Structure 1
Amino acid sequence: MVAIKKVLTASAIAGIAVLQGCKAPAPTAAPVVTVPVATAEAASLENNLVLSAEFRPFQEVDVMAKVAGYVRAINVDIGSHVQQNAVLATLEVPEIQDDVAKARAGVAAAEANVITAQAAIQRAQAGANIASLSFQRIKDVAARDQGLVPRQEIDVAQSKQLESSAQLAGANSSLRAAEQQKLQAESEYARTVTMMQYATIRAPFTGVVTKRFANTGSMIQAGTSSQTQAMPVVTLAQNDRLRLTLPIPVNAVSDVRDGQTVDVEVGSLHRTLQGKVSRTADSIQMATRTMNTEVDVPNPDGSLVPGMYAEVHLHLANRPAALSVPLDAVDGLGTSVQQVYTVRDGVIHQVSVKVGLQTANRVEILSGLNTGDKVIVGRHTGLSDGQKVDPQPAAYESATSH
């Protein structure tokens, strides 16, 4: 029994030795991940919107004739520069000339009727005075010497007085009617003279003739109705100032304001001009989600021609010294929660931030970071708060430092 116990003890010791010899080695520490970082620093940020547009005349109109007639003379051609109220063409309208003569005669007749009515008033006034005086005398005699004047004579004198007063009132009414007829005749004369003036077609504003539709002897119809097929005489455009109509996206509408200066780049002329936002539609087009905005560009030398294309650079925002980080350092852009991963002493810290102006490469940080903080850029997959990492400057940070 003693021998058996010794054998078992030896076997147990040998088994323990074998188990100790087969024990697994201690696990090694996980490798530290290398991450690219950039520095939060002040930078000049600008948000520019570039849109293409076509120059159009500031105003353009088809000059129509108010009255129908034959072209007696046309004084302009395509390319003619005219001043406001300059004579473009003259029409021959004989019937209106006859109307003017007839209206002038009507005014003369009305003036004669007024003179006749005034003379009638004078006669009626004289008769009324005599009748009133006669009645008053007979009345006084009858009152002083009763029975001397028959009652019938008193009644006749009173009747003549009333009759003469009625005649005077009628004469006054005739004068007023004659004066109204004179006003009517003068109004008709003024109308015919005005219509005659329409036979002279003038430029409504200073501009250049871009089209001509009539020649000497052409029959011009009156363009007084939108349903007629009347042809204009010429087309006139104002080109000393041009318009550019821009479709502003809905997300930039709040940054556009009247009077805002814009840069207008004309590629065909290799020139960059300055214009101003002159007016906005104040309404979003539902089909395109844009708002039409017009920019006026001065063109005093006429070097810009309607139809040319231009690129318009709108400066929507400018931050000269804004704390910013690269765009790919922020998670959740465009959502209600934005965050970045900062690295301090080799450890990741997840930080919530508030962003402001965004450009093509950088984003403004309004809160959450300080100047000099290191933030991880690029993909953030697999990173977690409190993780140890090896921060290395991002490729563009190294290029900037050199």
Structure 2
Amino acid sequence: MKRINILTLASLLVSMAAVWAQTSDLVPVVAKPVSQSVELPGEFQPFLSVAVHAKVRGYVEKVLVDRGSFVKQGQPLVELSAPEMKAQIAEAESKVQSAESERLQAEAQLAAAESTAERMAKAAETPGAVAGNEVVLAKKQVDALKALVRAKQQASQAAASAVSAQKDLESYLRIAAPFDGVVTERLVHPGALVGPGSDPVLLSIQQLARLRLVVAVPEQYTGAISNGARVDFKVPAFPERTFAGTVARSAHMLDSATRTMPVELDVANGDASLAPGMYPSVKWPVRRPKPSLFVPKTSVVTTTERTFVVRSNGGRAEWVDVKKGAADGDMVEVMGRLQAGDQVVRRATDEMRDGTPLPGRAAGK
């Protein structure tokens, strides 16, 4: 029985010696600024995107591009045919000629009436040659014909405007690219009837030389949003390359469901290596208002109940609850009731009970 007690005591002493050996190495809590980034998912969207429709009703005559075609602003994409539109233009031009003829006729009548009124006014200078009532009627006739001429002029202008409008509609039979981009979808073929009534999408065009990278930034990281800042990212398609974008605009409000703020980066894509729909991994910068505290990773003890470091308080162990943050090599950021310069155990365990003596000395002493 005594032999067993001696062995137990010896084992206890060895264990205590091991603990004391661990506690003999104390290190200071280090404060330093954090230059870090977090990985956030993003999504590429085209900078400009449009679904091309037909403004006027007609049959598709030609489709001059296809999926993947690079187009320039103003380049013809689709040609439509509408024979009835030529007939409408011809009818409108005929009305212009008729209105012009009526205007010229009214102007001729006005000229004749003015000449008659002028002769009567001159003759009225001789007493008794012309009745005064006839002179008044001649002037009234001139006024009436002037009003008729103005009406005919307005009718002629209206007819000319109708012709111009018809020709403008005819120009919509030739559908052109609204901007430089790439045809991403072709949804129509020759012979199809298109127009406002059927409302099919003919083509989809997206601008790919410049892209929008939309990043959902969590609330705690929104303080790092700074327009003009450069942000790096990678895409799975090119794992060896690092791309960059510029912070251009943000929503200035959080999504109530995800507690994130959509932020857009402008990304130059001259070689078209990136594409809308890709999901890059964005290295979002994290800004801290003051330096963070770091300790060795081995100083942090994690149990089922708590996470803590063992601080030397007057030579005795003191458990200080902490939260772990970013890692920096062999060091880890900690948040808790600590200050720079506090001495903590380098290799701590939960066997170092709170309040027990720490016989060791700080490193370097």
TM-score, structure 2 length as denominator?
0.76
Establish whether residue 239 from structure 1 lines up as the match of residue 208 from structure 2. yes
Identical amino acids, percent of aligned pairs: 29
Matches of 2:166 and 2:225, distance apart in 1 = 51
The reply on whether 1:207 has 2:181 as its aligned counterpart is yes
Report the equivalent of 1:13: none
**How far apart, CA to CA, are the structure 1 residues paired with 2:55 and 2:205?**
16
Residue 48 of structure 1 deviates from its aligned partner by 1.7
Structure 2 counterpart of 1:131, from 120, 129, 134:
120
Distance in 2 of aligned mates of 1:264 and 1:182: 64
SS at match of 2:272: coil
Aligned in 2, Cα 1:133/1:325: closer, same or farther, shift over 3 Å? same
Residues in 2 aligned to 1:35 and 1:130: alpha-carbon distance in whole angstroms: 132
Give the 3 Å change call, closer, same or farther, for CA 192–287 of structure 1 in structure 2.
Answer: same
* Contact persistence 1:247–1:292 (CA under 8 A): yes
Task: Report the residue type matching 2:97 in the other structure.
Answer: A
Distance 1:390 1:192, change over 3 A: farther
Question: Over residues 132-161 of structure 1, what are the superposed CA-to-partner deviations in whole Å (9 max), with x where a residue is unaligned?
Answer: 2222332xxxxxxxxxx5xxx7xx632122
For the pair 1:116 / 2:105, whether they are aligned, the reply is: yes
Question: What SS is found at the alignment partner of 1:90?
Answer: strand
Which runs of 5 or more structure 1 residues have no equivalent in the other structure?
A: 1-30, 139-148, 331-339, 352-357
CA positional deviation for 1:49: 2.7
**Segment of structure 1 superposing worse, 52-61 or 321-330:** 321-330
1:327–1:130: structure 2 CA closer, same or farther, 3 Å change rule? farther
Q: Tell me if 1:263 matches 2:232.
A: yes
Partner of 2:164: 190
* DSSP 3-state at the match of 1:53: strand
In structure 2, do the counterparts of structure 1 residues 132 and 37 end up closer, same or farther at CA, with 3 Å as the change threshold? farther
Which residues of 2 match residues 38-77 of structure 1 at below 5 A? 38-77=27-66
Give the counterpart of 2:132 among 149, 155, 158.
158
- For residue 131 of structure 1, what is the amino acid of its counterpart? M
2:117 maps to 1:101: no
Change (3 A) 1:323 1:317: closer
1:157-177 deviations in whole A, cap 9, x for unaligned? 321221121111111111211
**Structure 1 residues 165, 341: closer, same or farther in 2, change over 3 A?**
farther
Match of 1:304 in 2: 274
Match of 1:282 among 246, 252, 256: 252
Deviations 1:192-226 (A, max 9, x none): 0111001001111111112222223x22321x3xx
Return the match for 2:149 from 175, 185, 190: 175
Distance (whole Å) between structure 2 residues aligned to residue 280 and residue 184 of structure 1: 49
1:391 Cα deviation from its structure 2 partner: 5.3
Equivalenced residue count is 332
1:221 aligns to 2:191 (yes or no)? no
Shift of 1:230: 2.9
Tell me which amino acid in the other structure corresponds to 2:189.
Answer: N
Structure 1 residues 94 and 310: CA distance shift in structure 2, 3 A: same
Secondary structure of the residue that 1:268 maps to in structure 2? coil
2:333 corresponds to 1:362: yes
**In 1, distance between residues paired with 2:108 and 2:184?**
61
C-alpha displacement at 1:67, in angstroms?
Answer: 1.4
Q: Secondary structure at the match of 1:295?
A: strand
SS at match of 2:247: strand
Q: TM-score, normalised by structure 1?
A: 0.70
Q: Report the 3-state secondary structure (helix = DSSP H, G, I; strand = E; otherwise coil) of the residue aligned with 1:137.
A: coil
